[in-house]
Amino acid sequence: MLTNSDVAELTAFRHELHRYPEVSRQEDETAARVVAALGQLADRVVTGLGGHGVAAVFDSGKPGPSILFRSEIDALPIHEISTAPHRSLIHGVAHLCGHDGHSAILLGLARLLSRKRPSCGRVILMFQPAEEDGSGAAAVIADPHFADLHPDWAFSLHNMPGIKLGDCWLAPGPNCCASVGLKIEMEGKTSHAAQPDHGLSPGLAIAELIPALMALGSSRELSPDFRLVTITHALLGEPAFGIAPGHGEVWATLRTMIDARMESLKAQAVALAQTAAEKHGLRLTLSLHDDFAACANDPAATAQIAAALEALNIQHTPGALPMRASEDFGRFGHLPGCKSAMLMLGAGLNHPSLHNPDYDFPDDLIATGTQIFHRIARDMLG
């Protein structure tokens, strides 16, 4: 069990991360803080995984499964409006998703494992970079140094406002959707607003394209056939009255419940963009961003979490799972031979929502999350 001193120090660590947030792929100082906090707790610490990832290994030296527990270390490019003493000191960047709290939980687990190593196998604590843009897990897995860390099991949690503090949502099967950002750029020719016929505007193409894209995925019920297309940004020329635009952009997020449906949705969206550009004589550039695989809970891994929750007398239900949101953790479940599962840990029924400028991770969850992960490790490795 964590001591009162542990909890105080872990809370201070969380607040330190919160004051100095870094966005995806820029987590250099955050990773250094994690390494410093780990100190000599682990048998081995691997740094620079997939960019700024840090892995702490606790090895029994005896045969047994490798179990990975993951947290995220990146923040969001959103300005925080909190008045908390530990509010962000970096303008326009803040930990508004709770990755600072998740990392404090993993550090708490490191403290407990340092006092009693697993009886068999090993535990890997993965402080993952770049979750928010969907690139981190893939980069970690592709890193040559990860081959030696290949897990048999992978577990994670995410705090979730709207659930009673400390209660959980957990269910086998689909947990979070696959998603990808499609950036569509159309180039024509700028002209004077008095002579639009001397130019070539992408305005009509964009006006036709937006509703066509949205119609590709207008479903609302979560099922294997779920598809959703959300227009997140549109741009047409310069903000001026004297210029007829020559450049336009449409940004759309494509979302499916399962990976198998994503390729078809991408192909249809790309075809619509190509048709619109060709119809209006525009040059087209397409690019994909924030690519998230679907996150599904393996039944056996889910059962391990459920057993830990029941042993700790923590309430859990399927709640509103699966969710439309995406989570980079899904890629660990794609590893050959790896069973993975994620639980949603309640941050409070009326707590500000994730990614809101007034969100802050509830410190009370640090001990709860640590207990859950530690119980899983104990149950599986002794």
Residue owning tokens 């209660």: 167
For the chain, the structural domain boundaries read: 4-175+295-381, 178-292
Per the CB < 8 A criterion, the answer to whether 339 and 192 are in contact is no
Question: What is d(CA 316, CA 60) in angstroms, rounded to the nearest whole number?
Answer: 31
Q: Residue 220 has what pLDDT? A: 72
Q: Count of CB atoms within 10 A of residue 320's CB?
A: 14
Architecture category of domain 4-175+295-381 in CATH: 3-Layer(aba) Sandwich (3.40)
- Give backbone dihedrals phi and psi of 317, rounded to 5 degrees, phi first: -140, 165
Per the CB < 8 A criterion, the answer to whether 25 and 131 are in contact is no
**Token pair for 11:** 């809370």
For the residues of 125-153, what is the DSSP string, one character each?
EEEES-TTTT-HHHHHHHSGGGGGG--SE
CA dist list (Å): 26 to 29, 36, 122 = 8, 18, 29
Question: What is d(CA 131, CA 69) in angstroms, rounded to the nearest whole number?
Answer: 15
Q: Residue 128 has what pLDDT? A: 98
Q: Residue 185 has what pLDDT? A: 98
CB contact set of 104 (below 8 Å; sequence gap of 6+) = 10, 11, 13, 14, 17, 366
Q: Residue 305 has what pLDDT? A: 98
Question: What is d(CA 267, CA 85) in angstroms, rounded to the nearest whole number?
Answer: 48
Peptide bond before residue 322 is cis, with ω within 30 degrees of 0: yes
Per the CB < 8 A criterion, the answer to whether 60 and 116 are in contact is no
pLDDT by 10-residue block (mean), the chain, 382 residues: 97 98 98 98 98 98 98 98 96 98 98 98 98 98 98 98 98 97 98 98 98 88 92 97 98 96 97 98 98 98 98 98 96 97 98 98 98 98 96
Q: Tell me if residue 341 falls in helix, strand or coil.
A: strand
Question: What is d(CA 281, CA 239) in angstroms, rounded to the nearest whole number?
Answer: 23
Question: What is d(CA 97, CA 274) in angstroms, rounded to the nearest whole number?
Answer: 36
Q: Count of CB atoms within 10 A of residue 19's CB?
A: 17
Class of domain 178-292: alpha beta
Q: Residue 221 has what pLDDT? A: 79
CA dist list (Å): 265 to 274, 278, 314, 322 = 14, 20, 39, 20
CA dist list (Å): 228 to 131, 217, 264 = 21, 4, 12
Amino acid at 161: P
Amino acid at 57: V
